[in-house]
Structure 1
Amino acid sequence: MNRLKLLCAALAASLTLPSCIENDLPYPVVVCAIESIAAEGLAGDPAIDASARRVTLPLLETTDIREVRITEATITEGAEASLAIVGSHDLRLPLAVTLSRYQDYAWTIEASQTIERRFAVAGQIGATVWDEADRTARAYVGTDELTSVEVLALKLGPAGITRMSCADVPDLNESNLSALHDFTTPRRVDVTYHGRTESWYLTVEYTDLKVDWSRIDAWSHSAWLYAQGQSDAQPGFRYREEGAEEWIEVDAAAIAVDGGSFSTQIRGLRPQTRYEAVASSDADLTEVRSFTTEAALPLPNGGFEEWSKPGKIVYPYLSDDDAFWDSGNKGSATVGETICEGDADVRPGSSGTRSARLTSKFASVLGIGKFAAGNIFIGTYAETVGTNGKVNFGRPFAAHPVALRGWLKYTQGKIDRIDKQPPGQTLTTDDYDQGSIYVALGTWTAAAYGGTDQSPVQIYTKDQSTFFDKNAPDVLAFGELVLTESVDGWTQFTIPIEWRRTDAVPTHLMIVCSASRWGDYFTGSTANRMSLDDFELIYDYGDL
């Protein structure tokens, strides 16, 4: 009996033992992302902002935002979505979707749509004031006689699918706008499209203002002048350096007119100089408006003259205190490789003695490793995580260059290393690798992009959702050169920088140069080489 009790106790203990063992093994971290998406009725390419986990679909104005049809969507392999992304969705509000594998990642899919609306009247002063939320449009004129206003243009819905009507005109269109002339009180216009009707209210009001400034956006060598005046008057601008006696008149052909608004760009200005400007509408003048041009900031170590090697790693700077550029050498050095270094081969006519040489390699130990693209970039290499790297792009910079100019040589080879495929592409060993240089200016923050205050945009090669997106909302300007064939001798290049706005001031600058364009995906050619020398930022459009 005692033996039986002991056996039962032992059996009970063995059955309860597993419940006392905790699984302390952590789940792997797999960041889930929407990698690609397609939809009907788009005005351009979808923008995937991996840092904000947001997809923006730019809709044509004729697309029904309440029934946006998403036709394709690719998410991280192995992940599951909380709802079917492919299908029709009402995107008046962002669509929330959670992607899950071992962890949950909340994404949103939203739509951006601009419906071009116009309301212009004869003798209008300034631009029409629109309130989309309240559906009102207000125009100003220089007379208080509002019973016989001539409407010059009216468009309140998407082109080709909109029907307009008002109390005394059941079918309001371009041929009978003259019937809409009495604006002693606001006029209601019913607008129907996509089977739904909304009411807009149009107002015309008197103003004694003849001409006024809207704003001035001053860069280092140019300035944009914006003003408003009477639509049927002759607009004009004049400017001069402060203290000068003579005014410089802007040629009428250089003035853009949009109803009662007009603008121009003046070029050939001097950096950090104070100027005066006046806007005119016929004989009426604004007050004198002063503005100061900004500094034309130089590009630190643009000649790639400064190099150091305090240990086994080559750095494109002399010390941490003056670091502006960096490379992937910290990562490749873990297996004894250098993919970026100074070189005595400089471009003809250079005043310097060094250039940058980028070499793509298969960085490995005993045949185990990954492809490493030769690269140099503005920012800092953050850390190596396993066989992946984290780099932080960007440095503080508040200026408006219009181009990046420099010198390069480039050797191109066929792809011989393929790890991951770039979205939308299927690269093979029959394809040639490509080199790339791109420049971007923006208002990125470390909080939004994972880097530091100095270098805010963090790229983690293990997580494609962190890869740089030129269409992200914080990108103010961008330019890129893609090299699709070898460049045998030193050749000068110029990359124009396209600005989205003239009034925004960037906080950071990034330049990224890679001997292998798809290096982030560990795909490319070990034959690729790129040499770079004498980079400079161009600020004067006259120098292009």
Structure 2
Amino acid sequence: MKRLILFGALCLPAFFAGCIHNDLPYPVVTINIEAIEAEGLDGAAQINAAQQTVILPLLETTDIRNVHITSVTLTEGGQSSVAFPGTFDLRTPLYTTLSLYQEYGWSIAATQTIERYFRVKKQVGAAEIDPANRTATAYVSRSTDLQNVPVKELKLGPAGITTYSPEIEGTTSFETVRLVDVTAHGRTEQWRLRVVPTDVTVRITQCDAWARIAWLAADGLSDTEMGFVYRRKGDTEWLAVPDVEIEGGTFRAKLAGLDPETTYELRAFSDTDSCDMREFTTEAAPQLPNAGFETWSTDRSDILYPYAADAPLAEQFWGSGNPGSMTLKKLVTTNEKDPRPGSEGQYCAQLKSQYVAFLGVGKFAAGNLFSGHYAETKGTDGIVNFSQPFTSRPVALHGWVKYNRGKMDYIKSSPVGMSFAKGDPDEGIIYMALGRWTAAEYGGTEQSPVQVYTRDTKTFFDPEGKDVIAYGEVVFTTSVDEWREFTVKLDYTATDVVPTHLMIVCSASRYGDYFTGSSDSVMWVDDFELVYE
């Protein structure tokens, strides 16, 4: 689901200054795939209305050439050029045109991961598996007798339904390539198995240094003792890295307790062999500016900003919907003299959802606070540039929160596959993301590249987008009457990718970007802190 918590940025005088003349013979009704079900899925289907795509995650035992889609639910009145239910070959995407008054092209694709491995005794590292060319190559020490190589494990197809001919088990000769027929779903593929001697017995394959953590991996000689030792550069004593995980001829560990901006030395060992020493330097561990929300200022239009009046643009870290809502003399985000217990400051930030109107006509605006800048108001909609430059990798966002959860009294629209009714409980949300976004692709600025236009759902932030490297959220489904701590834990897609920007969004109404929520919902936040472990 797309999540981007915004506000109804309003400029209703402009709304009344003009009128709309519509010469179209039919109304514009966007037709989406609202829900889809299929047999053999490994989790829920991923529907992206903005990109008009569906991803079906398949179990490894599902036949990707014969995926049975049992039901597809479209927006009311919509029709599909492809008939459902049905069975489809999803090795390539299935394309369908949805229509009512207009046509919308959608694609349905499948993803599938089949675990494959080839393990022999005294193997060095993991085998190289090449499904496209159907080869599996295991490396062994130079002293290995290739006429007598004990095969420990072989898996080249879906678990439980794959057969092998001939059976490759026990001690086998690998002086030449071995051929094996692998059969699943009634189809047979011929694979080539190779065992190759190597002079390398231990080597470091990964050392991703964060501020207080390093992610380590290495290849070694299976069936021997393997591990890592490290020390701060300049020290003489080597320290063992704890909790090493070993799988065949590979081993890995998470080395915690490091100091930021510090150089360390690392070795990997296997049996009595060790690799050349490698140096690595940890990242800085910066904190968020104005994390206690003590600094505020106003301009000549009485717009309240969460930064100093003389702050240059580069130091205006926090933004809100106030520039939009203040066109109608309303503030959705304010500073309040209600700090959390034990705070060294005097203020917190209050985010109050409300209906902002002119002459009784307006839009719902969610109370909000975010890293970035409010760009402009277009008619009754807002344009916001999200995120700020950031190149470190914290593991979590910690802070303090209170929340009053109201019942929805304003409903304009909702995410695909969801519906709301007046009286439904509102929800609050705080989320954080790290990514490698660019202004060229996402429409914002170099400082805040992710641009969202509330009129266009295709611009809404997608936490599963290709340039997101970490994401986490806390959703508030009940009121929080007293100050309490919260932690947004980040889930990283990779440990070796360095972000360029950080995004934090807080909203008293989770679906405020759809102008949906409760005017009774209020969130208070205070004393944010990035956690590096």
Same fold, TM-score > 0.5, yes or no:
yes
Return the letter of the residue paired with 1:146.
Answer: L
Select the residue among 265, 275, 281 that pairs with 1:276. Answer: 265
CA distance in 2, matches of 1:39, 1:184: 46
Higher alpha-carbon deviation: 396-405 or 348-357:
348-357
Aligned with 1:299: secondary structure?
Answer: coil
Shift of 1:52: 4.8
Residue 302 of structure 2: which of 309, 312, 323 is its match? 312
Give the drift of 1:533: 0.9
Pairing 1:373–2:366 present: yes
Tell me if structure 2 keeps the 8 A contact 1:416–1:524.
Answer: yes
Identity of aligned residues (%): 53
The code of the aligned residue for 2:39 comes to E
* Secondary structure of the structure 2 residue equivalent to 1:332: helix
Q: Is residue 490 of structure 2 the alignment partner of residue 497 of structure 1?
A: yes
Deviates more, 1:310-319 or 1:186-195: 310-319
Q: CA deviation at 1:513?
A: 0.4
CA distance in 1, matches of 2:156, 2:399: 48
> Could you tell me whether the CA contact under 8 Å between 1:380 and 1:393 is conserved in 2?
yes
Corresponding residue of 2:399: 406
Measure how far apart 1:271 and its partner are: 0.7
Q: In the alignment, which residue of structure 2 is the partner of 1:259?
A: 248
Normalising by structure 1, report the TM-score.
Answer: 0.87
Indicate yes or no: 2:518 matched with 1:525. yes
Provide the residue aligned with 1:93 in structure 2.
Answer: 92
Q: Give the partner amino acid of 1:210.
A: T
SS of residue in 2 equivalent to 1:416: coil
How many residue pairs end up in the alignment? 507
Partner residue of 2:16?
Answer: none
- Separation of aligned partners in 1, 2:31 and 2:288: 37
Q: Which residue of 2 aligns with 1:150?
A: 150
Once the two structures are superposed, residues 445-498 of structure 1 have per-residue CA deviations (whole angstroms, 9 ceiling, x without a partner) of 334434333323333333334333322332221111111222122222222212
Q: Structure 1 pair 241/102, CA: closer, same or farther in 2 (3 Å)?
A: farther
Amino acid of the residue matched to residue 213 of structure 1?
I
Amino acid at match of 2:303: I
Partner amino acid, structure 2, of 1:67: N
Q: Is the 8 A contact 1:51 1:466 kept in 2?
A: yes
Following superposition, the deviation at residue 399 of structure 1 comes to 1.1
**For residues 367 and 97 of structure 1, do their structure 2 counterparts lie closer, same or farther at Cα, with a shift above 3 Å needed?**
same
**TM alignment of 1:229-248, pairs within 5 A:** 229-248=220-239
CA distance in 2, matches of 1:265, 1:417: 47
Residue 249 of structure 1 deviates from its aligned partner by 1.3
The question of whether the paired residues in 1 share the 8 Å contact of 2:34 and 2:417 is answered with: no
d(CA) in 2 for partners of 1:359, 1:384: 20
- Asked if 1:196 corresponds to 2:187, the answer is yes
Displacement, 1:383?
3.1
Q: Normalising by the residue count of structure 2, what TM-score does the alignment of the two structures yield?
A: 0.88
Spell out the pairing of 1:2-21 with structure 2 (5 A cutoff).
Answer: none
Contact 1:50 1:467 in 2 (8 A): no
Quickly say closer, same or farther: Cα 1:290–1:454, change in 2 above 3 A: same
SS in 2 for 1:420: coil
Q: Distance in 2 between matches of 1:30 and 1:339?
A: 31
* Corresponding residue number in structure 2 for 1:128: 127
Q: Which runs of 5+ in 1 are unaligned?
A: 1-22, 167-171
CA–CA separation in structure 1 for the residues paired with 2:433 and 2:31 = 26
**Match runs of 1:458-477 below 5 Å:** 458-477=451-470
The match for 1:9 is none
Indicate the residue corresponding to 1:213 in structure 2.
Answer: 204
Amino acid at match of 2:502: L
- CA shift for structure 1 position 259: 0.7
Partner of 1:43: 42
**Does the CA contact (< 8 Å) of 2:298 and 2:304 recur in 1?**
yes
Q: Secondary structure at the match of 1:490?
A: strand
Higher share of residues assigned helix: 1
Q: CA deviation digits over 1:40-80, x for unaligned, max 9? A: 22212333445654432211111111122333445566766
- Matches of 2:360 and 2:150 in 1, distance apart? 79
1:52-451 counterparts in 2 under 5 A?
52-74=51-73, 83-84=82-83, 87-98=86-97, 106-142=105-141, 143-166=143-166, 172=167, 177-178=169-170, 181-251=172-242, 254-310=243-299, 311-318=301-308, 319=311, 321=313, 322-451=315-444
- The answer on whether the counterparts of 2:50 and 2:457 sit within 8 Å (CA) in structure 1 is no
Answer yes or no: is the 8 Å Cα contact 1:49–1:472 preserved in 2. no
Alpha-carbon offset, residue 88 of structure 1: 2.8
User: CA separation of 1:457/1:81 partners in 2, compared to 1, >3 Å: closer, same or farther?
Assistant: farther
C-alpha spacing 1:75/1:301, structure 2 compared with 1 (3 Å): farther
Q: Which amino acid aligns with 1:410?
A: Y
1:12 matched to which residue of 2? none
Q: Distance in 1 between matches of 2:79 and 2:376?
A: 30
Contact in 2 for aligned 1:47/1:472 (Cα 8 Å): no
Range with bigger deviation, 423-432 or 299-308 = 423-432
Task: Specify whether residues 320 and 331 from structure 1 end up closer, same or farther in structure 2 by C-alpha distance, changes over 3 A only.
Answer: farther
CA 424–103 in structure 1, closer or farther in 2 if over 3 Å, else same: closer
1:346-402 CA distances to partner (integer Å, 9 max, x unpaired)? 122222232211001011123222211111111222333333333232222111101
What secondary structure is seen at the aligned counterpart in 1 of 2:344? coil
More displaced, 236-245 or 102-111? 102-111
Q: Which runs of 5+ in 2 are unaligned?
A: 1-20
Q: Is the 8 A contact 1:412 1:529 kept in 2?
A: yes
Residues in 2 aligned to 1:99 and 1:394: alpha-carbon distance in whole angstroms: 35
Q: Deviations over 1:157-211 (max 9, x none)?
A: 1112212113xxxxx3xxx712x61211111111111221111111011112111
Query: Bigger CA drift: 345-354 or 294-303?
Result: 345-354
Q: Distance in 1 between matches of 2:253 and 2:500?
A: 26
Task: Answer with 1 or 2: which has the greater Rg.
Answer: 1
Query: What is the one-letter code of the residue matched to 1:113?
Result: Q
Q: Give me the whole-angstrom Cα distance separating, in 2, the residues matched to 1:106 and 1:68.
A: 21
Cα 1:393/1:73, change in 2 over 3 Å:
farther
Once the 2 structures are TM-superposed, how far is the Cα of residue 333 of structure 1 from its aligned partner? 2.3
Give me the CA root mean square deviation.
2.5
Q: 3-state SS of the aligned residue for 1:520?
A: helix
